[in-house]
Amino acid sequence: MYPGRFRYVSPRSIDEAIAVLTEAEGEGKVLAGGQSLIPLLKLRFASPGVLVDINNLPDLDYIRREDDGSFRIGALTRHATMERSASIARHQPTAAAAAPLVADPIVRNRGTLVGSVCHADPQGDWAAVMIAAGGSVVAQGPEGRRTIPVRDFVTGPFQNVLAYDEVAVEAVIPAPKGTVVGGFLKLERRVGDFATAGAAVTLELSGGKVSRAGIALTGVGAATIDAEDAANALLNRPLGAETIDRAATLAAEIANPKSDHRGSADYKRHVVHTFVRRILAGLTEQTERAA
């Protein structure tokens, strides 16, 4: 399977990348890790006129923890770098839990977090992690930069809000106000597979209570689902059996899975309930310690 013909450009700066995309007037596509785009090119599901490869912009390869505790993750930061980051392991438990579950180790050497969010696969993992953590994408175009919360960035299956002349330059995870706890669970049929159902939960705790909550679901809808109501059910409360069950029930209700070869809709909904409950139960202990 050969991709269709395209022109290949490997810019040496973001500005140059944007200029090429602008000139291509919608015929251009950014190539990051290529772990979703190249398979699509081979299947001829995508046939852009110009590929703008950002792999020669090493300045975009970073995981930075700012003084305020926020994280900035460059557009060339691979899944494997997330997986091995001691700083992420220490300060962003949801991302740390998800990183080793994204695809397989070889794909993780190439694929990028930002590329995954841009790709907006309804079964992708990073968009769910970012939504749970309240994260954003920073896009750069001819007019400068803008920051878009991931919950608004992903608009549907394989759709995002980027204009054709914009490059997503980094993802941002905001600084937590209290202690951060979180978890990620995903059901896969075999190693490296997409989620049959998955849940990401990030909580911030102060004084033994939940001061911020994010719950997002993957694999169970036409796009990543922001389970806002489920998260709100946790706010300003300590984590207890009743609160946990309420959140899990609300998450399962907003899940909108389809029956397919991976399982029936009912089954997937049940998995969502179980995962959200299981993550929260695991976090209870951490909450108690933080109190």
Partner 1 sequence: MTSLFEEIAEPAPDDVPVNRVSVTVNGKRRTADIEPRLLLAHFLRQGLKLTGTHTGCDTTNCGACTVLLDGKAVKSCTVLAVQADGRDVTTVEGMATGSELDPVQEGFKDEHALQCGFCTPGMMLSARALLNENPEPTEDEIRFALSGNLCRCTGYQNIVKAVLWAAAKENGQDPRQAVARYEAAQQGRAQQNGAHQ
Ligand X SMILES: Cc1cc2nc3c(=O)[nH]c(=O)nc-3n(C[C@H](O)[C@H](O)[C@H](O)COP(=O)(O)OP(=O)(O)OC[C@H]3O[C@@H](n4cnc5c(N)ncnc54)[C@H](O)[C@@H]3O)c2cc1C
**Residues at the site binding ligand X, with contacts judged by CB under 6 A:** 29-37, 39, 54, 75, 102-103, 107, 110-112, 114-116, 118-119, 121, 124-126, 162, 167-168, 192, 194
58 binds, among partner 1, ligand X, none (CB under 5 to 8 A by kind): none
**How would you list the strands of the sheet with 179-187, edge to edge?**
179-187, 197-206, 209-218, 225-226
Q: Are 6 and 50 in contact (CB under 8 A)?
A: yes
Q: How far apart are CA 89 and CA 232, in angstroms?
A: 26
In whole angstroms, the minimum distance from the beta carbon of 113 to ligand X comes to 8
**Which one of 39, 156, 157, 208 is in contact with partner 1 (CB under 8 A)?**
39
In whole angstroms, the minimum distance from the beta carbon of 38 to partner 1 comes to 5
40 binds partner 1 (CB under 8 A): no
67 binds, among partner 1, ligand X, none (CB under 5 to 8 A by kind): none
Question: 176's torsion region: left (phi>0), alpha (psi -120 to 50) or beta?
Answer: beta
In whole angstroms, the minimum distance from the beta carbon of 121 to ligand X comes to 6
38 binds partner 1 (CB under 8 A): yes
250 binds, among ligand X, partner 1, none (CB under 5 to 8 A by kind): none
- Give every CB contact of residue 259 below 8 A, 6+ residues apart in sequence: 265
Our CB check for ligand X shows the closer of 130 and 210 to be: 130
Our CB check for partner 1 shows the closer of 48 and 257 to be: 48
Q: Which residues bind partner 1 (CB under 8 A)?
A: 1-8, 10, 31, 34-35, 38-39, 41-42, 51, 53, 55, 80, 100, 103-107, 109-110, 191-192
